[in-house]
């Protein structure tokens, strides 16, 4: 008691050595560091944060202890006491697609630049899973939940997104819709779109300018947002040149290579006449190319072809594919930037539309 009384008056060894009696069990805590350095936990915390005067000698002792114990802070504890910025979550159907990958890269890039972690989750089109993910992200205190990809904008969709927006907002997070139809004003969500209509307009106009009049449009699924917007662009371009819109040349389907292949093969079998094809996606264009070639038609000599997306391999096809470049990476970066800027109340921009761009390669030529 006597010798204890002396050191207990001020010494930091007050109630140390509570339970960590055994040797090396689990990662070391700030208390271990404090013990080793012979200072209080507060001093360790402050030394590491570097926001408080600490004598050089103390700092050295602390740093030595930190090194020798391989100490790292526990994020959870840190977060609990308020010092950690939430991560950014990216929710996609499937990371594998070339365009989604670029969005992911953009998100990761911007998140990292701002000191956030980025989580990647895929839904595989399962809305229940999407619900779960939103819940999970609320738990994680995600700064932003970025959902990417076109959809069929029906009532159920709008209800779900409205719920997400409100739920995330209540948890201090924010919903970001990328390449998806925007929500009614007033809902706490950020939307980053790209100009589907304009892109399709440019693509179609490019074919029209080359002299094509019967342009096969390989659309996406009926009702699917991006597909409908691209169709509008296609129609508008025809209209602008007073070329009549022919419904039989407008064939819906999937955004896949196989679908493109089948539709062109069937169209040729049915004797449909056209001199150019505008595929709603590069993948569809690849399928179309295969079907045309199989039918003995040469691209671009016999039929011209334009895609949409400008995926990396578009330039490597034979012929290289004229297509519409979508700024996927920029889309991802913008999504994150908008939300994080808003957190610092810099620029409360809520809805951005990025433009698309025609990339001219070899797959278009005037009709014979």
Q: Which two tokens stand for residue 237?
A: 């371009």
In the bound state with DNA, the residue whose beta carbon lies nearer, of 42 and 360, is 42
Q: How many residues bind DNA (CB under 7 A)?
A: 36
Q: Which of 201, 149, 161, 159 is nearest to 335 (CA)?
A: 149
Quote the DSSP letter at residue 275: S
Q: Which two tokens stand for residue 326?
A: 């979508």
**Distances in whole angstroms, Cα of residue 290 to Cα of each of 262, 263, 264, 265, 365:** 10, 11, 9, 9, 18
9: helix, coil or strand? helix
Quote the DSSP letter at residue 316: G
DSSP one-letter string for 245-258? P-GGGEE---SSHH
Q: Which of 109, 172, 181 is nearest to 148 (CA)?
A: 181
Q: How far apart are CB 190 and a second copy at their closest, in Å?
A: 19
Q: Which of 297, 304, 220 is nearest to 265 (CA)?
A: 297
Q: Which two tokens stand for residue 285?
A: 């264009």
Query: Bridge partners of 324?
Result: 358
Q: How far apart are CB 24 and a second copy at their closest, in Å?
A: 8
Q: How far apart are CB 306 and a second copy at their closest, in Å?
A: 17
In the bound state with DNA, the residue whose beta carbon lies nearer, of 7 and 239, is 7
Token match 């000698």: residue? 57
Whole-angstrom distance, CA of residue 43 vs CA of residue 364: 70
30 binds, among a second copy, DNA, none (CB under 5 to 8 A by kind): DNA
Q: How far apart are CB 216 and a second copy at their closest, in Å?
A: 20
Q: How far apart are CB 211 and a second copy at their closest, in Å?
A: 26
101 binds, among a second copy, DNA, none (CB under 5 to 8 A by kind): a second copy
14 touches DNA (CB under 7 A): yes
188 binds, among DNA, a second copy, none (CB under 5 to 8 A by kind): none
Q: In this structure, how many other beta carbons lie within 10 angstroms of the beta carbon of residue 361? A: 17
Q: How far apart are CB 214 and a second copy at their closest, in Å?
A: 26
CB of 281 within 8 A of CB of 255?
yes
- Cβ within 8 Å of residue 12, ≥6 positions away: 34, 38, 39, 40
DSSP one-letter string for 90-103? EEES-TTSHHHHHH
Whole-angstrom distance, CA of residue 307 vs CA of residue 42: 61
In the bound state with a second copy, the residue whose beta carbon lies nearer, of 268 and 292, is 292
31-90 residues near DNA, rule: CB under 7 A: 31, 38-43, 45-46, 48-49, 51, 53-55, 57-58, 71-74, 77-78, 80-83
In the bound state with DNA, the residue whose beta carbon lies nearer, of 8 and 240, is 8
In the bound state with DNA, the residue whose beta carbon lies nearer, of 80 and 347, is 80
356 touches DNA (CB under 7 A): no
Q: How far apart are CB 121 and a second copy at their closest, in Å?
A: 7
In the bound state with DNA, the residue whose beta carbon lies nearer, of 14 and 113, is 14
Residues of this chain that bind a second copy (CB under 8 A): 26-27, 70, 72-77, 79-80, 84, 87, 94-96, 98, 101-102, 104-105, 108-109, 112, 117-122, 135-136, 138-141, 167, 170-172, 257, 286, 290, 293, 313, 316-318
In the bound state with DNA, the residue whose beta carbon lies nearer, of 125 and 172, is 172
Distance of CA 363 to the CA centre of its chain: 30
Q: Which residues bind DNA (CB under 7 A)?
A: 10-12, 14, 18-19, 26, 29-31, 38-43, 45-46, 48-49, 51, 53-55, 57-58, 71-74, 77-78, 80-83
């Amino acid at each position: 008691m006597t010798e204890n009384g002396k050191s207990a008056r001020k010494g930091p060894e007050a109630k140390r050595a509570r339970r960590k009696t055994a040797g090396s069990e689990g990662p070391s805590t700030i208390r271990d560091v404090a013990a080793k350095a012979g200072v209080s936990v507060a001093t360790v915390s402050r030394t590491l944060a570097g926001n408080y005067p600490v004598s050089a000698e103390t700092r050295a002792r602390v740093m030595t202890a930190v090194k020798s114990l391989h100490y790292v802070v526990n994020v959870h504890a840190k977060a609990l006491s308020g010092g950690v910025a939430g991560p950014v979550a990216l929710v996609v159907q499937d990371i594998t697609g070339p365009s989604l990958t670029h969005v992911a890269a953009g998100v990761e890039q911007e998140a990292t630049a701002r000191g956030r972690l980025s989580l990647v989750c895929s839904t595989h089109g399962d809305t229940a899973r999407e619900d779960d993910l939103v819940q999970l992200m609320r738990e994680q205190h995600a700064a932003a939940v970025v959902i990417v990809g076109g959809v069929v904008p029906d009532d159920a969709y709008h209800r779900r997104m409205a719920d997400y927006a409100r739920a995330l907002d209540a948890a201090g997070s924010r919903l970001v819709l990328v390449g998806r139809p925007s929500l009614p004003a007033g809902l706490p969500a950020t939307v980053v779109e790209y100009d589907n209509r304009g892109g399709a307009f440019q693509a179609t106009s490019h074919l029209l300018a080359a002299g094509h009049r019967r342009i096969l449009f390989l659309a996406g699924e009926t009702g699917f947002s991006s597909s409908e917007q691209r169709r509008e662009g296609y129609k508008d371009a025809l209209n602008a040149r007073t070329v009549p819109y022919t419904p039989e040349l407008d064939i819906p389907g999937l955004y896949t290579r196989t679908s493109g292949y089948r539709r062109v093969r069937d169209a040729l079998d049915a004797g449909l006449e056209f001199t150019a094809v505008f595929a709603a996606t590069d993948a569809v264009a690849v399928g179309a190319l295969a079907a045309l070639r199989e039918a003995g038609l040469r691209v671009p000599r016999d039929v011209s072809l334009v895609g949409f997306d400008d995926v990396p391999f578009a330039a490597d096809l034979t012929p290289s594919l004229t297509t519409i470049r979508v700024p996927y990476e920029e889309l991802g970066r913008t999504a994150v930037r908008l939300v994080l800027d808003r957190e610092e109340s810099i620029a409360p921009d809520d809805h951005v539309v990025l433009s698309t761009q025609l990339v001219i390669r070899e797959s278009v030529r005037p009709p014979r």
